[in-house]
Structure 1
Amino acid sequence: MTEQNESLRAPAEVKYADELDWLESVDDGPKPFSWRLSPKMVRLFVLGSERADGLEREIPQKWFGDRTFVERSIVTLASDRGLLLIGDPGTGKSWLAELLSAAISRNSTLVVQGTAGTTEDHIKYSWNVSQVIAKGQSRESMIPSPIMTAMERGVIGRFEELTRSTSDVQDALISILSEKYVSIPELDDDNIVFARPGFSIIATANSRDRGVNDLSSALKRRFNFVRIPVVTNKRSEAEIVRFRTSELLRRYRIELEVPPTLLDILLQSFADLRAAADSATSDDEKLESALSTAEQIGVLEDAILHSQFFGDRELRASTLAASLVGSLARRAPEDLAILNKFWHGVVEPRTQENPSDTPLQEFLEGGRRALAALS
């Protein structure tokens, strides 16, 4: 495994290796199958420790959401059913799947990405052509998919964007989830790969992609659904943005503080834009952006990097406004018209009510300049 300081983004089991080692050393709870941690410790790793847990070491929270979603996900993975995390873009589905896989299996990298080009080979196996020509078809010349590897090791496999894969691929998953084995008809001997205890699949699906490739009722029955809602609590959303932004700053080795006033402006702007989208009567009156927490983090990251490389290394409200406009104005003229309306109908009146609020005044002017440049 590549060392964390040599990789652009370390997987959770590498990033939190020391923490996972310590939790494993003090874990005396019952563990299903080949799990590395007990269900209680998996939950604690994901949601963080509390004083009542009585641990000698504090475990930070890594996923922010209702604990019942995490508990139901863990219980599902301890059963013989797959887990399907479904929700809007940016709700943390993939991050939760990665954390669960890291805690349970110490491997979150056995991933299949669902696309229109994903084939049955991607979830079962393919062949090393040169090996087949030289030695014929055998287990040695077979290339197992990440899902088959998870079956053989008795660990968690992941399937991202399940509804974006074709019906053929989805149908192939049905036999894997129900029969728990994969047949290899090309071989005469050793032609069945059985899943070891502990194997399961965590799939994710974007609720906005409903209708791209609908799941069959047969496949739905083999998954437990956990719906992850959009975070609407301002305090929780602020914690998520701070947590993810601090990680990004460490990755880029940037020493910069995000002023609380600017974070409040960002959170309020997204809340206002969501409210406008909810009251819109047509898609043309809604931004193409999902206005998710992940997109807030993207806006803030863009502003921080711009301040670092092209500014005075201090995050300013005008830079934040320009990043927000640049990130959300995806369609012309529709998105530009919506943002213009927001700036003149929401931001401007708010600055008039608070004329001494310098950051808000800078935010107004920065947004105006960014919109004028795009118009």
Structure 2
Amino acid sequence: MVRLFVLGSERSDGLDREIAPKWFGDRSFVERSIVTLASDRGLLLIGDPGTGKSWLAELLSAAICRNSTLVVQGTAGTTEDHIKYSWNVSMVIAKGQSRHSMIPSPIMTAMEAGAIGRFEELTRSTSDVQDALISILSEKYISVPEMDNDSGDNIVFAKPGFSIIATANSRDRGVNDLSSALKRRFNFVRIPVVTNKKSEAEIVRFRTEELLRRHRIELDVPPTLLDVLLQSFADLRTSAAAAGSDDEKLESALSTAEQIGVLEDAILHSNFFGERALTARTLASSLVGSLARRDPEDLAIMNKYLHGVVEPRSKEVGGSWPEFLEGGRDAIATLS
């Protein structure tokens, strides 16, 4: 049922109603994640930015324990208090240290409820925070030394069902490397960038329809422009794979999420400031504006792509490519 909730139903499932998919990806990734959460080990979803790690973690938490909000965001400023507990200073002064004056972390709340706690961007947190997670994952309890031993409140035990889903950005490797001890307490599930055009088209189309419904926008997205967007990202990924150094690659990860962001930007611009119809020119402008983050490196890469790939294709294929080329050139000229 968890798998059905995440991936949606098929005819072979024999359900009396259809369950729409909420996450698009390989079925084996979801099944491995579910099996891990049924064990005593934590789950670590690792991959490039924009591959849907956080969304999958949120869906798994919601499906299993009906709560996906017990989350800690890992940063350089995250401390042990964020994963254990802190104190309400006013109540401590008035009534002393007790469970009433304690502020439990989302992880401690998950332990007490037998639910799933989420830890976003684990490799961005310091080694002290990572070390504190080791005892939580292995011993399944948190000691509260400030409390009286006789009260029985000095140890918080995890109820059955407690687990942790962590995410890590593979591009952040080396920020704060995970220790071998912490790695052993996680099962790793690597989420790759979607490169299958059919799967990627389904994801982009699904998110676009969701965007149009959410903003109550009635705007047609021609399939030909969707093909142009998909092909552009495929071309840029091929170029990045062949690049000899980081200076020859776009800073963007060129993920499906960024592809959706480009299309969303183009749709909103067309709706509010355009002709209420998506055009190749607007799409090209959004592509350049979203992906060219470094000046002049990224602008030079985008310019090279337009002249070396898009220009010959616009002459050979025609269609929306000539207008796409013109819009991209105008966007680069504006940013230069």
Question: How would you bin the TM-score normalised by the shorter chain?
Answer: over 0.9
SS where residue 201 of structure 1 aligns? strand
Paired residue for 2:104?
Answer: 144
> 1:234-262, CA deviations, whole angstroms, 9 ceiling, x for partnerless residues?
00001111112222222212122311101
Paired residue for 1:96?
Answer: 56
TM-score (norm 2): 0.98
Match of 1:361, as an amino acid?
Answer: P
CA separation in 1, counterparts of 2:216 and 2:84? 40
Gaps of 5+ in 1: 1-40
Paired residue for 1:51?
Answer: 11
> 1:277-309, CA deviations, whole angstroms, 9 ceiling, x for partnerless residues?
000001110000000101000000100110111
CA separation in 2, counterparts of 1:186 and 1:244? 49
Q: What is the aligned length?
A: 333
Q: List 4+ stretches of structure 1 deviating above 4 A.
A: none
CA separation in 2, counterparts of 1:125 and 1:63? 33
Paired residue for 1:116?
Answer: 76
Gaps of 5+ in 2: none
2:300 maps to which of 333, 337, 355: 337
Paired residue for 1:281?
Answer: 244
2:35 maps to which of 75, 81, 95: 75
Alignment of structure 1 residues 7-46 onto 2, 5 Å: 41-46=1-6
Paired residue for 1:213?
Answer: 176
Query: Alpha carbon RMSD of aligned pairs, Å?
Result: 0.7
Match of 2:9, as an amino acid?
Answer: S
Structure 1 position 64, deviation (Å)? 1.0
Paired residue for 2:164?
Answer: 201
Structure 1 position 61, deviation (Å)? 1.1
Paired residue for 2:44?
Answer: 84
Match of 2:200, as an amino acid?
Answer: E
Structure 1 position 216, deviation (Å)? 0.3
SS where residue 157 of structure 1 aligns? strand
CA separation in 1, counterparts of 2:104 and 2:255? 36
Paired residue for 1:315?
Answer: 278
Paired residue for 2:288?
Answer: 325
CA separation in 2, counterparts of 1:247 and 1:71? 26
CA separation in 1, counterparts of 2:190 and 2:273? 41
SS where residue 314 of structure 2 aligns? helix
CA separation in 1, counterparts of 2:105 and 2:218? 41
2:317 maps to which of 334, 338, 354: 354
CA separation in 1, counterparts of 2:209 and 2:103? 39
2:135 maps to which of 175, 180, 185: 175
Match of 2:315, as an amino acid?
Answer: Q
SS where residue 258 of structure 1 aligns? coil
SS where residue 22 of structure 2 aligns? coil
What percent of counterpart residues are identical?
Answer: 86
Alignment of structure 1 residues 232-271 onto 2, 5 Å: 232-271=195-234
Paired residue for 1:363?
Answer: 324
CA separation in 2, counterparts of 1:326 and 1:277? 18
CA separation in 1, counterparts of 2:107 and 2:4? 27
Match of 1:247, as an amino acid?
Answer: E
Structure 1 position 233, deviation (Å)? 0.2
